[in-house]
Chain A
Amino acid sequence: MASERTRGGDTRITLTSVLVDDQDKALRFYTEILGFEKKTEVPLGEHRWLTVVSPESPDGPELVLEPDAHPAAKPFKAALLDDGIPFTSFAVDDVRHEYTRLRALGVEFTQEPTVMGPVTTAVFDDTCGNLIQIAETT
């Protein structure tokens, strides 16, 4: 519920990031395996400003494939992996269907599709040092 003070604000969520160990590998995984499309690619010194979008909403939120070069990023990612924690979650219509499709493409899951109260979720390894959750509202 917007309060008097926040009403009329026009701040919107347009970008979210995943910290990847290799931008080329990440671009291949997020487009060829997950099925996103490349939206922007701007050279920025050693790395690139690189984003992908869902083909279902090309003008929707962009996912930034952000290099994990900062020294704090790697221990953070390793600690999340150790405990099996997906920092990023995407929506799908049918978790089981997507699980089967991704498994056939060689994607490794750390959690098979599981009913978790109002949602069904599964968790996979994006090969770039992250666990990603896919969730379906049941």
Chain B
Amino acid sequence: MQAITCITSRAVADVFKALADPTRRKIVDELSERNGQTLFEICARLATKHRLGSSRQAISQHLDVLEQASLITTERRGRCKYHQLDTGPLERIVERWLQNVREEVIRASR
């Protein structure tokens, strides 16, 4: 049980660490607009829409951090690699603090 708690809190810490960076939040924004993008598309969106001139290598490293936090997964279709946003870890964070609030709202509305 203790081991599970430990893994979970580390996973939560990874999510916060991943989202602490503004460039990574922009990547999440763009993937939430259209899921499943190549590295090229992500770089082009950041450069043209957000004026972020980070190198392709730097963006690739940001994607690795997001992937380690389970916020994105990669999928190979044909010979290209696509990045998918997974909001699962965010939902678990929201549940942790907002579940009680939501239940109260539901009770109050009855």
A-side residues, CB < 8 A to B, are 78, 81-86, 108, 110-112, 114, 116-119, 121, 123, 125, 131
What total of A-B pairs shows CB separation below 8 Å?
A: 54
Q: Which of B41, B56, B78 contacts A111 (CB 8 A)?
A: B41
User: Which B residues are in CB contact (< 8 Å) with A112?
Assistant: 34
Whether A81 contacts B40 by the Cβ 8 Å rule is no
In the complex, residue of chain A having the shortest beta-carbon distance to the beta carbon of B44:
A116
Q: Mark B76-92, 1 if CB is under 8 A from A, else 0.
A: 00111110000000000
Whether B80 contacts A82 by the Cβ 8 Å rule is yes
User: Which B residues are in CB contact (< 8 Å) with A81?
Assistant: 79-80
Q: Given the interface contacts A112-B34, A116-B48, A117-B48, does A86 sit within 8 Å of B40 by beta carbon?
A: yes
Q: Smallest CB–CB gap between A45 and chain B, Å?
A: 29
Whether A84 contacts B48 by the Cβ 8 Å rule is no
Can you list 28 A-B contacts with CB-CB less than 8 angstroms, sorted by A residue number?
A78-B79, A81-B79, A81-B80, A82-B79, A83-B38, A83-B39, A84-B37, A84-B39, A84-B40, A84-B41, A84-B81, A84-B82, A85-B39, A85-B40, A86-B40, A111-B38, A111-B40, A111-B41, A112-B34, A116-B44, A116-B45, A116-B49, A117-B48, A118-B48, A121-B44, A123-B38, A123-B41, A125-B80
CA A2 to CA B21, docked complex, whole Å = 43
In the complex, residue of chain B having the shortest beta-carbon distance to the beta carbon of A80:
B40
Whether B80 contacts A110 by the Cβ 8 Å rule is yes
CA A86 to CA B43, docked complex, whole Å = 13
CA A121 to CA B44, docked complex, whole Å = 10
Q: Which of A85, A116, A121, A125 contacts B78 (CB 8 A)?
A: A125
User: Which A residues are in CB contact (< 8 Å) with B38?
Assistant: 83-85, 110-111, 123
Whether A83 contacts B44 by the Cβ 8 Å rule is no
Whether B45 contacts A108 by the Cβ 8 Å rule is no
Whether A117 contacts B78 by the Cβ 8 Å rule is no
User: Which B residues are in CB contact (< 8 Å) with A108?
Assistant: 78
Whether A83 contacts B81 by the Cβ 8 Å rule is yes
Whether A117 contacts B49 by the Cβ 8 Å rule is yes
User: Which A residues are in CB contact (< 8 Å) with B80?
Assistant: 81-82, 84, 110, 125, 131
User: Which A residues are in CB contact (< 8 Å) with B49?
Assistant: 116-117
CA A131 to CA B81, docked complex, whole Å = 13
